[in-house]
Structure 1
Amino acid sequence: MDARVVAVGRDAEHRFSKETAPVIRLLAGLGVAGDAHLGVTVRHRSRVARDPSAPNLRQVHLLQRELLDEVARDGYAVAPGQLGENVTTAGLDLLALGTGTLLRLGGEAVVEVTGLRNPCAQINRFRPGLLRRVLGRDERGAPVRRAGIMGVVLTGGEVRPGDRIVAEPPAGPHRPLAPV
């Protein structure tokens, strides 16, 4: 199966979920037009409190539909956008990508993968018990974050459901994703 965009969303307010839309516009160096996380510097509230001048490595949040399908089998009905993602994907294992991977979305937009979303307690406020489905532990006890990935916009453009996604790994050795 080709990798595809399933849904896109944005929200001008700092709310947990994002409303889906027929199209979003990515702006180079900024993020999603009309989204509360748009900007060169951090916009996520907890990160602004720590250092408002830090670069915004979380301009775009991507989440794979396969996770939504999995949690649905566990009894958690979650629609695209409800976990706060801007782009819901299908057919691409986002969590296996390396830092610096380029994602070509549709005909124009390019997003560079910066790292993992660090799931937080807001997920349990949205659906009690869901956090343990998207934040697990490996055999060594280390956290396994499955709530999507983050990226920055290198090239702007419109992104719509049905758009093709092409992943281009960076040169050099694979660098696993870490929380950003």
Structure 2
Amino acid sequence: MRVEAVHRDDKHRFSKLSVGEIRLIEGVGVEGDAHAGATVRHRHLVKKDRTAPNLRQVHLISREVLDELAANGYDVAPGELGENVTTVGLDLFELPTGTKLQLGDTAILTVTGLRDPCSQINGLQKGLLKQVLRKSADGTVVRRVGIMSVVTVGGIVRPGDHLTVKLPPEPNEPLELV
């Protein structure tokens, strides 16, 4: 398990720029990213309650999701779905809430929940929303556009850094929308 790519953008745009490294700041998020902050930064959440804690400081998506999209005819590069970290070798959607992810030597993220894809995703490629937001055979809504986390311990993260997982104590809580 490793970090494939890292991204940030100082503006509220849909996609983020790939960079050589990101600095994670405890309780804040990615230094220089528009979504960094102790309180909510996502526009729709700010409208609801600008004093709410920011549970969406760092967005992660796996290379495997991008590969699934490619297999279905959608060419999506790392960072284009707005993630800060693209991972390899880990099924992020199987992690419970509260999982600790160590990226590189020092940075630790705590998983808070699922990202809910919005219709802006179709601006990237028409029909993409249906690929990442669909219903399973039993009618359950399946969201495949990454997970959200907060920075528990700061540090520098670079492409190629190792990624380790520490599950929270049982009973585990499944990922919900944040």
TM-score by length of 1: 0.98
The percent of aligned pairs where both chains have the same amino acid is 59
1:61 corresponds to which of 59, 67, 80? 59
1:166 corresponds to which of 147, 164, 167? 164
1:139 corresponds to which of 133, 137, 140? 137
**Aligned pairs for 1:4-153 within 5 A:** 4-153=2-151
Q: What is the RMSD computed on CA atoms of the aligned residues?
A: 0.6
Moved more, 66-75 or 81-90: 66-75
Matched position secondary structure for 2:172: coil
Once the two structures are TM-superposed, the CA of residue 71 in structure 1 deviates from its matched residue by 0.6
Distance 2:144 2:172 in 1: 19
Once the two structures are TM-superposed, the CA of residue 136 in structure 1 deviates from its matched residue by 1.2
Paired amino acid for 2:88: A
Paired amino acid for 2:84: N
Once the two structures are TM-superposed, the CA of residue 118 in structure 1 deviates from its matched residue by 0.4
Matched position secondary structure for 1:71: helix
Moved more, 139-148 or 91-100: 139-148
Once the two structures are TM-superposed, the CA of residue 111 in structure 1 deviates from its matched residue by 0.1
1:75-124: CA deviation from partner (whole Å, max 9, x where unpaired): 11100000000000000000000000000000010000000000110111
The alignment covers a number of residue pairs equal to 178
Matched position secondary structure for 1:166: strand
Q: Find runs of 4+ consecutive structure 1 residues off by over 2 angstroms.
A: none
Matched position secondary structure for 2:38: coil
Paired amino acid for 1:36: A
Distance 2:75 2:136 in 1: 25
2:153 corresponds to which of 146, 152, 155? 155
Paired amino acid for 2:3: V
Structure-1 residue corresponding to 2:175: 177
Paired amino acid for 2:132: V
1:38-83: CA deviation from partner (whole Å, max 9, x where unpaired): 1000000000011101100000000000010111111111000000
Instruction: List alignment gaps of at least 5 residues for structure 2.
Output: none
1:108-157: CA deviation from partner (whole Å, max 9, x where unpaired): 10000000000110111111100111111122322111100000000000
